[in-house]
Amino acid sequence: MSLFKSKPKPAPYVAPTGAVTLTRAQFATTMRVRPAFRTYAQAVGLARATQALDDAFTENLRGMAATGFWQFGTSGNVGNPTQLRCQGDTELGVFFGAIDMLFGFDKTKIDGRATYLNGLLGKADAGLLRVDLQANAETEANYYVAPVPVQQRPGTPVVPPKPAAMVNGAKALAWLTWGVQGSTAAFSQALANNTRSDGSFPLGPNHTQLLAAWQTMVPIAPAYRGWNNAASQQKYPSNVGGLQVLDAVFAELAARPMPARGDNAWYDLALYVYGAVVTAQGFTDGNKRAARLAYVSMLQSGGVPMVAPNGTLGSRLGDML
């Protein structure tokens, strides 16, 4: 007979099984300590990274399939859920891995956009972009029709010709609204709000000013872009990453001396800004419209005649494909 009774062996650990529910707050708390998020936050700043977390969770709520569980790539928005449900811990791990991957993709695309735009700025500083514009200018008659001259009645005072700046403004608005269906009032107001005639960089040190104009020109754009499996197939970053790229461009231009008014170097910088807006894709829709506004604002501030790039040059400036 044993003097001491043996202790019962503890039962082996068994991972919980069954469905797992994840709230928005739980998702954010878990993601914040993961290396992929920390790397991303270092690239775009904590505020933007936090916004990206919220966008990623919202987007993946659309991944709730008819089964009631999340599936990467599904975009059904079944039942308008507010929480994410996975079939178990394994599927939850797949979800977090997918988000890690998307943050990595976005960081890589941010870096790629910045590298491309550094090269484009080099071409602008060398005067190469305006040379391209000379060979690829949009035919003015395609977007602008001069008003019919008013017949002078005998004995009335002579009507002086419109100032060149006013004519340039009319041409700029005509190109900005070329192809727009419906009212163009928002475009007219956006151009008026962003027109400078003092030779300064007209768009401010970050995207805020252009964003305000974009919101009036594209009022029904989606709230965000990215954070699903389709994002991995796109060359451009999410709108969060795109605004990071655009802010770097605007901050650099706002800090550097602009050319003298009337200098043809304004065409180079305007083309660079156009390419930057299209390339960064900081807005969820209507980036080309925002790029056109930025372009004509540059020409207006620089006091140079309106010359618009054609579609061939525009596509070449914006590295999207």
pLDDT for position 64: 86
The arithmetic mean of pLDDT across residues 78-83, rounded, is 82
pLDDT for position 3: 56
pLDDT band, very low/low/confident/very high, at 17 (cuts 50, 70, 90): low
pLDDT for position 269: 98
pLDDT for position 63: 87
Q: Which of 283, 181, 312, 270 is nearest to 225 (CA)?
A: 283
Answer yes or no: are the C-beta atoms of 277 and 246 closer than 8 Å: yes
pLDDT for position 75: 67
Better-scored residue on pLDDT, 94 or 150 = 94
pLDDT band, very low/low/confident/very high, at 11 (cuts 50, 70, 90): low
pTM over 0.85: yes
- The mean-pLDDT minimum among 103-107, 127-131, 157-161, 193-197 falls in 157-161
> Which ranges of the chain would DSSP assign to H, the alpha helix?
24-31, 35-44, 46-61, 89-125, 128-135, 164-176, 185-193, 208-217, 239-255, 265-280, 287-302, 311-317
Percent of the chain with pLDDT over 90: 74
